[in-house]
Amino acid sequence: MVNKLTENELWILSFYRTSEISGALFFGRLARSMKPGLIQRDMTKHFSDESQHAWYWTSCVQRFGTLPLKLSHAYQDKYLEAAGMPANLMEVLAITQTFEKRVIAQYALHSRVPDLKPEILETFNKIMEDEKWHIEWVGEALKRMEPEYGKSYIQDTLKRYWKADKKIYGEVLKEHEDRVKDLLRYRQRTA
Ligand SMILES: [Fe+2]
Ligand SMILES: [Fe+2]
């Protein structure tokens, strides 16, 4: 018999899929507009990874004998609304860094659910490797930009995006957090 997803799990995995698609579209558009260089290369790989992740979640859900939900959350749009459109490449990378850290935090929270279904754990493990590299390359690129933009301007920009991130998290991502916490509580009750 196929192991079933609960309504909560199906929503969460569908949410991950939608976010990965939005990420892929965001980075794909950026990659297309880049001039030749290391950032062009890394941004293209980044775009390719996020597209793969969207597929991993799609196929993960399918392994439970169902299909992902169509969700209307446009997380990235909210991000740009709250933080303002990035004005230059440094700001693009700063917003990317903030966003990627939030994704890792969401995945880390969920991966702490005891008795996580092996198909979900397997997908997290595959994705987390890439997500770590995303934080790394963006961090290195920002470091290389210090002589051009100044270290304190970069730090201030990161702080500004962190603030925006907290605001968005409270408004848009609360449902994800509530649902994962529900999952953690449910597991504790039934353990
Ligand atoms: Fe991803
Ligand atoms: Fe990522």
pLDDT, tens digit, 9 for 90 and up, residues 125-166:
999 999 999 999 999 999 999 999 999 999 999 999 999 888
pLDDT digits (tens, 9 = 90+) for 14-28: 999 999 998 999 899
Cα-to-centroid distance, 25 and ligand 2 (Å): 12
- Asked if 180 and 12 count as a contact pair (C-beta separation under 8 A), the reply is yes
Burial 122-133 (b: 16+ CB within 10 A, else e): ebbeebeebbee
CA atoms within 13 A on the CB side of 72: 0
**Cα 47 to averaged position of ligand 1 atoms, centre (Å):** 9
Cα 46 to ligand 2 centre (Å):
7
Among all bound ligands, the one having the nearest atom to the CA of 22 is 1
Successive 10-residue mean pLDDT values, the chain, 191 residues: 85 93 92 95 98 98 96 71 85 93 91 92 96 97 97 95 85 78 70 48
At which residue do the structure tokens 């597209």 appear? 51
Look at the chain and report how many structural domains it folds into: 1
**Helix/strand/coil percentages in the chain, nearest 5:** 80, 0, 20
Report CA(9)–ligand 1 centroid distance (Å): 18
| Domain limits for position 44 | 7-190
What's the CA-to-centroid distance between 189 and ligand 1, angstroms? 31
Q: Is 93 inside a domain boundary?
A: yes
Asked whether residue 27 is assigned to any structural domain, the reply reads yes
Give the distance (Å) from ligand 2 centre to CA of residue 102. 10
148, HSE (Cβ side, Cα atoms, 13 Å): 9
Within a domain: 160: yes
* Residue 2 resides in a domain: no
Indicate whether 63 belongs to any domain: yes
Tell me the CA–centroid distance for residue 1 and ligand 2, in Å.
34
191 alpha carbon – ligand 1 mean position (Å):
31
Give the number of the ligand closest to the Cα of residue 27: 2
For the domain that residue 169 is a member of, what is the CATH number?
A: 1.20.1260.10
The tokens 């390359």 sit on which residue?
137
Whole-model pTM? 0.90
Q: Let me know if residue 50 belongs to a domain.
A: yes
CA of 116 to the centre of ligand 2 (A): 22
